[in-house]
Each structure stands twice: as structure tokens, then as C-alpha cells.
Structure 1
């Protein structure tokens, strides 16, 4: 390994490093920045002096993320309205690694990433490395500079903090797409009762505009209220409270997979203006998280453009 081309060594690890950084930060653009900074640090060392490059790089990325998380916590406390992670296209793009098992998909779900905001940076690092990447506590201790017993305690506290999060229910990708397609058809048709039937009684909807665009600053709770919230944009010829004429072109909505969950992407003309991620449960749609902050749509916008350039059509 030590005699291999340094660039090749790094590129072989890039996807895993991005996966670690994204799960720690909840931001794809920041994760890209962290991976690039890790590359610069790798470029500045003698690879022959690094016994285990994958472990060395994971340690660098994790600690860069820990530094960012400390300042991010303060920024998110004054964030305008609900904070949601940056959406990442999955299902045809393996940017986040394999997501075939429910545990793999859960590790990047919006519900879990949002819940992890209540963790300290160290708790979050231990939880991600242990749960998403199956690191041993000894390996984690080496990465974050804690004792092995200390990492066990951090992991235990993290799981306790996350115990109140909704349990994830396994739903096939095809079933998820069908549910979202029915949701879209009911909303477009103004069929409020049909729309409400697709929602769990205690469904919650969050909108993240970050103060950049008009968005609800409080969650909408309950099937009736969420149904009306979802239906209203179609009646006002807007998409998620954004006036279509402001961007030019007619609105288009497509069903895709985001963070391992069914989702809708909304465009006005060529511009991506919203991504709505659905959380499904046996009783219906349990959560709807709508990202409208333009800064958070940059990464997924590039993903969509790359796929369209290759296939000639939207995913």
C-alpha cells in the first residue's frame, strides 16, 4: 500500500471519506470541502511513512469534521426556521456508498441526520463510525483521541439521545416511489381526502428555507393540516410557496430517491427550487421534509445534471 501511487491511494478512499464527512456534517458541500482539505494534507506527507493510509485519512477527515461541528452548532442555533440536511441523490448515484440494507439507508436518512443534531460532536463521531462504518471502539479511540472506554460511554449516550427518534420501517424502493406518485397525483388533482388518506394521523412536515426563500418557520402537524399544506401550492400555481413566475418556466416535479428515501424534486424551468423527502411508515407518510434553501440544493443539482447529461433525461 505504501508504495502505491499516492493519488490512486487517495482516490480509492475518496467515496468512503465523503460518506464519513457527510454523515458527520449533514452537508454535502462541506463534506466535499473536508475531503479536499484531507487531500491537501495527504499530499503534504510522505506516504511511505504512513502505515495504514485508510485509517490515517479517516482520522484526518473525522477531526476536520469535529472542528467544523463545533462552530456549526452555534450557527444552527440561530438558523432561520427548521434546519434540515443537504439532500443527496441515491438509488442511481453511489455518492454515499451502498444503501441496500435498511441499516445502510437509515445511516443517511433525514430523520436520523436531523436527530443527530442533538448530539455533541464527539458523540456524533463515535456513533457514525460505529453504526455506519462498523469501526471497533479501539479504532474509534485512535481516530478521535479518546480512551476505548470513553468511546463506549459516548456511544451509549448517543444511542440514548437518539432513542426517541421514530424507528425506521423497511419499505421497498418501488413501493416508496408508488406512494409518492400517488401523493403527487392527489395533490395535483386537488383530492384532499385522498391526499389525507396517504398520511399518518401524526404526520409532521418541515420546511427549510434558511431565510433565503419564503418557508414555514414551524413544523406543520397532523394529517389534515399537512394535506392542506401540500395541496395549496398546486392551487396557487406555486411550488412549495415559491412563485413559479419568479424563476421562469412551468413547474415540473419528479419522483426520485434522496438519502435512501422516496422524494420529489421540483423545478421551475431549468432551476431546481425544492426537494421534498418522504418518511414512510406502515400507517402512511409519517414525515415530509422540504428543502428550499438554494445553498442546500447545489450538490444535488450537480448530481441531477450529471445524470441527465449521461442519460439524456431526468432520473
Structure 2
């Protein structure tokens, strides 16, 4: 690898991966985008690039935008809900379904789910402005829009995210405690105690990708979700192995069988009641069994 390309890779790879992952919601595609950008950098004459960070950011953004526009059509025919691919961290227990990717900041799972409400352009503008503080002129250059147009797109994106309940919440120790109680209750077979930790308006969303039997629509309400969990327990699914796992910087739950991941559940807490209000169950094996390299 050329010395200038190698230096750029070491300097910006984590930033570029975090941008790509926020935009795409998939680890594999984000890795591929970053790799493709650095491969193409060889042909771009690195010595002639005045602002390497801006060049790489624009390259990653353009590739992600193309993927998003194509993916939005694919998701229309996706069997059931599409959920982002979990990004595994280090909980210190060694129980992660895959390896880990180290980032300088955490990217909350519920945040990624809410980003799915945005159009590809809205998502790009929202992420670049809100998460990375890009100026409207810089964003406009990346997506071929005027600064005023970018402001309007951002306003629309913020409104959609607000309607979805998005807040810039800090890591919540109370949430970690509730999730750990939930995992412990399931591990002990105490299903009533686990259900007692759910809010009345709880919703569970499952993503099997058409490869694993999963609910094709969200299951809403304590009655239906409780019945769903009791049904899983009756099949002794929880008895095969449940454990806390670090996902997107937060405590989640992994379901395993013979030491292989069967699902990862991510959680969202109701701030008023302090109970679990959303469960995102990733069952699609393509989003679970991976060996991640450090980025």
C-alpha cells in the first residue's frame, strides 16, 4: 500500500466506518464501502488531494447513498421487518456472537432503527450534520444540493426522527440494570418476572430475513408479547442459553444453541415507567454469525 494511502487508512478508517455504518445499518456493507474507497484512492493520485478527510468522506457518502437508494427497493420485498445488523462490543464475558469492532463512539441500536424512517437523502443529511457536524456547504457538495436545500432536508429529517421518539439520550445505567434482570429471569425460567419488566405498550419486532421463522409484523401489547415470550419458553429456547452481550454500546441479550448464536435482542426503555417498551429481535443468521475484524 502506498505510504500516503496507508497513512490515510490508519488516520480515517474508524471515522469512515462509523459514517458508513450509520448510513447503511449493516457492518459488512460498511466495511466493503471503506475498503472500496481506499482501493480507489490508489488510482486517484493521493498526492494531488488537498483535503484527504473531505475527499474520503465524500467518497464514502456517495457510495453509501447509491447503496441506500438500491436497498430501499430491496427492503420493500424483504420478508417481514428489516432490522440493522448488530455491532458487537466487548462485554468482558467472551459471549459475543462474533468478534468486535472498536469505534471511538457508540452508535445506539434504537437510533439506527429510527434512521430507517428517513429517505436516503434525509438519512445522509441528518447523519452528516447531527452526528459529525458537517457544514451545509460541505454536505451540499457531497450530494449535489444547495445549502438551503440541505437545511430543508435536515428540518424534515429532524421532524421525522422526533415523531419516532428520537432523543439524544446518554447511556442509561437503569436500562442496563433492567435488561440484566430480564436476562436473569429468562435464564432462571422465571417467565412471570421477565414479563413484569415489560411496559404495557411493549412492542417486539423480529427480523428473520425469510431464513428463520419470525413474526412478519410487530407484536404489540403486554398480552400478546407476554404470550409470545411464554411460547418461546415452552419450546425451551431460553434454556439452551441466554446471556447479556454488548451491542452498539448497550447491554443486549444473546440466545445461543450449542454455542452458536440464534438471536440477539436489543431493548428500548420507556423513560416514564422504567420498563422495556421495545424489543428488537434479530434472528436473521446473516446478521449474527460473523467474525468481525477490528476497524
Pairwise TM-score range, normalised by the shorter structure: 0.7 to 0.9
CA deviations on 1:192-244 (whole Å, 9 max, x unpaired) are 442232111111001100101111111111123222322332321225xxxxx
Q: Is the 8 A contact 2:265 2:281 kept in 1?
A: yes
Structure 1 segment 111-260 matched on structure 2, within 5 A: 111-168=110-167, 170=169, 172=171, 174-239=173-238, 251-260=240-249
CA separation of 1:146/1:47 partners in 2, compared to 1, >3 Å: closer, same or farther? same
CA deviations on 1:106-152 (whole Å, 9 max, x unpaired) are xx333332222232211110000011111111221122221111111
3-state SS, counterpart of residue 163 of structure 1: helix
3-state SS, counterpart of residue 24 of structure 1: helix
The residue aligned with 1:30 is 29
> 1:276 pairs with 262, 265, 269, which one?
265
Distance 2:71 2:101 in 1: 26
> 2:287 pairs with 270, 285, 296, which one?
296
Q: Does 1:262 align with 2:251?
A: yes
Q: Does 1:95 align with 2:84?
A: no
Distance 2:216 2:104 in 1: 33
3-state SS, counterpart of residue 44 of structure 1: helix
Q: Is the 8 A contact 2:80 2:207 kept in 1?
A: yes
**Greater CA drift, 121-130 or 8-17:** 8-17
Distance 1:159 1:174 in 2: 26
CA separation of 1:10/1:43 partners in 2, compared to 1, >3 Å: closer, same or farther? same
- What is the number of equivalent residue pairs in this alignment? 283
1:40 Cα deviation (Å)? 1.0
Distance 1:120 1:181 in 2: 35
Distance 1:123 1:47 in 2: 31
> Which runs of 5 or more structure 2 residues have no equivalent in the other structure?
92-99
TM-score (norm 2): 0.88
1:180 Cα deviation (Å)? 1.6
Structure 1 segment 5-44 matched on structure 2, within 5 A: 5-44=4-43
Distance 1:199 1:126 in 2: 35
Q: Is the 8 A contact 1:205 1:288 kept in 2?
A: yes
Q: Is the 8 A contact 1:79 1:210 kept in 2?
A: yes
1:273 Cα deviation (Å)? 1.6
> 2:278 pairs with 282, 287, 295, which one?
287
Q: Is the 8 A contact 1:275 1:291 kept in 2?
A: yes
1:171 Cα deviation (Å)? 6.5
3-state SS, counterpart of residue 166 of structure 1: coil
CA separation of 1:9/1:188 partners in 2, compared to 1, >3 Å: closer, same or farther? closer
Superposed CA RMSD in Å reads 2.3
1:90 Cα deviation (Å)? 3.3
The residue aligned with 1:66 is 65
Distance 1:169 1:32 in 2: 26
TM-score (norm 1): 0.83
> Which runs of 5 or more structure 1 residues have no equivalent in the other structure?
100-107, 240-249, 307-315
